[in-house]
Structure 1
């Protein structure tokens, strides 16, 4: 035993220098955990944008063909009538989402997340095919409603993302993935709708003379949608793992069947010379390398028992900002293609106060689709390479607020492109205002999802909060185009094409700016839970 030494005890103690803390490596796309699960979820996320945006490039021509160009009194359908019907047709999809989003959230909490993704995906495939072969407005309206019901589960996908990736350092990229896929789906949907609508006329060297395409001129893009979603359905059935805590680890028939199929393929590839044991080993290192998406943290019995509620002022303001974004953005997505398709008015009055003029850009459906999809590509570049850097430097809330300021500027300027003489100058102007809107929504959409997620006081309420958020955003995406179409029709009747842009869209966007400045940026619900647990331990 060492003796007590007063000399040694009184000697000055020199503290050994601590080794410098190793800097944590930066988060990259390749460092995301559970990438395979996130990619399958992303493939399923394609359902909504493909189903919702494919019709936009040809919406004007679709409505004009379905009502045979005449109204009930036998008069030729006016641009205001087409705009009003277009708003209702676009709103039907989101209205069905609104009516079923909370139902999907409750079913997901009871029966599991995977089933609430797989079965609606199958319904979405059927709805796309039905819409493409619809020949009357009531029929296409019905299939739009079915498609909206099938895509009311977006909140479940966001909840699943939060359950797969729980660490905050991965949040910006994990929660960016679904909006990134949404933007990609929008671009693909717009391009498909623009290129493949009326294929016997737009691509006569390929589809010329095909009778069923002449009878159903808008069926081909929806058929391609159905094919893409069928592939996503196979991935979900055979590879997506359950993340509901009470169902994790239970047998999954879809995954079992997929493994049996892969095992059979491996045996055939080896010409029967591989043993079953080697196949099993390859499967364990291949298919089974996907770890189950388990909740981080202790079991529910050891969770802190402090009550949590969604009825707070911070959550209410966050939900308001989350809802106002699709309120004007969805209306823009419907109004802008109509604006581009409406025939150009050669008799525009350039004199006066510059308010009363009407008309559109007079582009065809293929030009509209290519125009919108081409500019949407810039959104993908921003989300993949620019947004994570900006979010890390300025924070999610600052990016969200900056984006909201850009929306009103874009809406105010849009109608004035009609007053610019010369097709080149006019095209440059429309490119400018469209770029403003695309950049704004590219920055705002992923930020809104992260802010809503971080507003949840507990992981237990995350699914409910996203269900409420999806319900409100669906209502906004229903009301926005419907009201926008009505205001646009009234504006055209009085000779003011800019009415809907200067009053409705700009007004909602300015209200969004005001709400964004009252929002707060919180921590992720899992971090909040760990903080509470540490306090309880202390």
Structure 2
């Protein structure tokens, strides 16, 4: 087992250069997507102002309202869920094919990342050209928005590959808590940075007429600057991956990499080869069995964490050429434990998707009291029968959403690694899953909190914001500790190293389908409940589902990454199963 008294810090992480590149890749795609969403909001708001519409809803609400001002609030919520579903389904389908290519001797992890980054770059160009060509915004119909979201999802399939590479770069369990938490941290940083970047660069001519008023380029392409910056970020990520990211797939790691060769020459030219990064010392053979529960991908001699896989040699013996000539067939990947872990992960991602879909729409939904009901069924009967939402303005909703990222970053950076090192990954996952039902129970009551402003004005006041902050803080705490733990456990549940990328792709495909379905179903349930005096129905059903996820989690086990042995695996260290 892991030695929980051993101090592990961020500085002791192995292969920090490779982890930084993967962090940058994970950062680059969400920052582009979020930046595009802000540009879309700016254009949609200008269109609404031209049409003299003064409704205050969420960003996506504004986008869809600008396309058809006659849409009702439930219709817009359903369209919002449909767009998110199109993005998720397209993304998960592309991930499945990319996962197969990633495990193939003709492909590899690095090639798949470059394909995904290149596709995202093309998507930015397509997005910009549409913006510049359409008269009143970049789309005129909902179906055009649906196509755009579908294309965007198809070019964002790198998530599963990045997860796979993190588990292969950092193979020792004592470092994995910090390594895997980097992925959600990258997403949080992207969501925080991108709105600021896009907000400062969009429509420079309109916001700074004295400085940019004479620019013909900005007159014709007012939203070109953010698109250009997005393209630079993706191009930079692609270049860094090509030059400095090492292949981690065992079936292609010894193939000549021209990008790495060029990168090494650049390092020599820039004299970077004189500087050595922080290293951690290899454990002695006597303490290895007591302290480190090695991942099955490692050889008998522990690898120097700063040494590229192409240069690995076993201590005291000649270099052993590892070949996974036998690749685990797809039909044998789905072991009992992997199925249980995937089921628990799918349930978790499903109810979190419900929260992500309903939260901004619920806060933007107009306030409805007994004086403003449309049907008798909407009459309030506390504690379960009430309609409407909080009726908040976009700025207030943005602040509520920002709480997730502001609170989440320090918790991921400081709290999560310490707790998982102390109690273990599986126990951390199990414990914090128990608080999701509480979140879904209390959120709907924001609609009935006393407000400083009378209906139908949006809700404001201490009680309203206290419940919002409590709900968001609890959601941040649950997500911070469960999301990275889920990633680690899925990787450990992979039955064989040759199936690692496909395991992550299957996981991403399954959870994406569940997220897409949950978003659509929750939107329909919310619309029905709001029309019949049951605004909390969708939330409370999500709470019931989360309880089911907690029960499934109780029978999951922490795997070892090598549950199935194939011929040619005799050079691997004998794994020991750790049960919690």
2:103 & 2:325 partners in 1: Cα distance?
19
Deviations 1:228-254 (A, max 9, x none): 333322322222121122332433333
1:245 match: secondary structure: coil
Please point out which of 423, 443, 447 is paired with 1:394. Answer: 423
Name the CA shift for 1:206/1:285 in 2 (closer, same or farther; >3 Å).
Answer: farther
Tell me what 1:447 maps to: 485
Tell me what 1:163 maps to: 168
Name the CA shift for 1:240/1:535 in 2 (closer, same or farther; >3 Å).
Answer: closer
Of 88-97 and 136-145, deviating more is 136-145
1:34 Cα shift?
0.8
Please point out which of 380, 388, 395 is paired with 1:359. Answer: 388
1:52 & 1:357 partners in 2: Cα distance?
36
Tell me what 2:143 maps to: 138
Of 340-349 and 162-171, deviating more is 340-349
Q: Of the two, which has the highest radius of gyration?
A: 1
Please point out which of 26, 30, 34 is paired with 1:45. Answer: 26
Name the CA shift for 1:406/1:211 in 2 (closer, same or farther; >3 Å).
Answer: farther
- Given that residues 103 and 498 in structure 2 are in contact (C-alpha distance below 8 angstroms), is that contact kept between their aligned partners in structure 1? no
Equivalent residues in 2 for 1:291-306, closer than 5 Å: 291-293=307-309, 299-300=321-322
- Given that residues 8 and 175 in structure 2 are in contact (C-alpha distance below 8 angstroms), is that contact kept between their aligned partners in structure 1? yes
Please point out which of 106, 110, 117 is paired with 1:114. Answer: 110
Equivalent residues in 2 for 1:496-535, closer than 5 Å: 496-503=534-541, 505-525=542-562, 533-534=573-574
1:318 & 1:140 partners in 2: Cα distance?
35
1:437 Cα shift?
1.1
2:157 & 2:396 partners in 1: Cα distance?
31
Deviations 1:351-409 (A, max 9, x none): 52333333333333343233312332211111111111111222111211222111111
Tell me what 1:427 maps to: 465
Of 475-484 and 287-296, deviating more is 287-296
Name the CA shift for 1:112/1:284 in 2 (closer, same or farther; >3 Å).
Answer: same
1:247 match: secondary structure: coil
2:552 & 2:466 partners in 1: Cα distance?
32
Tell me what 1:380 maps to: 409
2:168 & 2:124 partners in 1: Cα distance?
30
- Given that residues 492 and 558 in structure 2 are in contact (C-alpha distance below 8 angstroms), is that contact kept between their aligned partners in structure 1? yes
1:157 & 1:123 partners in 2: Cα distance?
16
1:392 & 1:207 partners in 2: Cα distance?
54
Instruction: Tell me if 1:311 matches 2:348.
Output: no
Return 5+ residue gaps in structure 2 as ranges: 39-57, 132-137, 279-305, 315-319, 374-378, 452-459
2:252 & 2:510 partners in 1: Cα distance?
28
1:181 match: secondary structure: helix
- Given that residues 201 and 208 in structure 1 are in contact (C-alpha distance below 8 angstroms), is that contact kept between their aligned partners in structure 2? yes
2:559 match: secondary structure: coil
Tell me what 1:68 maps to: 68
2:323 & 2:262 partners in 1: Cα distance?
35
Name the CA shift for 1:229/1:105 in 2 (closer, same or farther; >3 Å).
Answer: same
Return 5+ residue gaps in structure 1 as ranges: 1-21, 70-75, 267-281
Tell me what 1:13 maps to: none
Name the CA shift for 1:115/1:104 in 2 (closer, same or farther; >3 Å).
Answer: same
- Given that residues 411 and 506 in structure 1 are in contact (C-alpha distance below 8 angstroms), is that contact kept between their aligned partners in structure 2? yes
Instruction: Tell me if 1:284 matches 2:307.
Output: no
Please point out which of 516, 521, 528 is paired with 1:483. Answer: 521
2:427 match: secondary structure: helix
- Given that residues 404 and 444 in structure 1 are in contact (C-alpha distance below 8 angstroms), is that contact kept between their aligned partners in structure 2? yes
RMSD: 3.9
Name the CA shift for 1:399/1:51 in 2 (closer, same or farther; >3 Å).
Answer: farther
Provide TM-score, normalisation by structure 2: 0.74
Tell me what 2:498 maps to: 460
1:302 & 1:112 partners in 2: Cα distance?
13
2:313 & 2:533 partners in 1: Cα distance?
59
2:251 match: secondary structure: helix
2:19 & 2:242 partners in 1: Cα distance?
14
- Given that residues 400 and 472 in structure 2 are in contact (C-alpha distance below 8 angstroms), is that contact kept between their aligned partners in structure 1? no
Equivalent residues in 2 for 1:54-203, closer than 5 Å: 55=37, 58-65=59-66, 67-69=67-69, 76-110=70-104, 111-131=107-127, 133=131, 134-136=138-140, 137-189=142-194
1:403 & 1:206 partners in 2: Cα distance?
53
1:319 & 1:207 partners in 2: Cα distance?
55
1:408 & 1:197 partners in 2: Cα distance?
41
Name the CA shift for 1:453/1:419 in 2 (closer, same or farther; >3 Å).
Answer: same
Name the CA shift for 1:502/1:363 in 2 (closer, same or farther; >3 Å).
Answer: same
Tell me what 2:10 maps to: 29
- Given that residues 380 and 386 in structure 2 are in contact (C-alpha distance below 8 angstroms), is that contact kept between their aligned partners in structure 1? no
1:226 Cα shift?
4.2
- Given that residues 415 and 497 in structure 1 are in contact (C-alpha distance below 8 angstroms), is that contact kept between their aligned partners in structure 2? yes
1:414 & 1:208 partners in 2: Cα distance?
45
- Given that residues 80 and 489 in structure 1 are in contact (C-alpha distance below 8 angstroms), is that contact kept between their aligned partners in structure 2? yes
1:205 Cα shift?
8.8
1:166 match: secondary structure: coil
Of 106-115 and 212-221, deviating more is 212-221
1:220 Cα shift?
7.2
Tell me what 2:351 maps to: 328
Equivalent residues in 2 for 1:191-230, closer than 5 Å: 225-230=230-235
Aligned length: 490
Please point out which of 232, 235, 247 is paired with 2:237. Answer: 232
1:362 match: secondary structure: coil
- Given that residues 495 and 564 in structure 2 are in contact (C-alpha distance below 8 angstroms), is that contact kept between their aligned partners in structure 1? no
Instruction: Tell me if 1:471 matches 2:523.
Output: no
- Given that residues 34 and 293 in structure 1 are in contact (C-alpha distance below 8 angstroms), is that contact kept between their aligned partners in structure 2? no
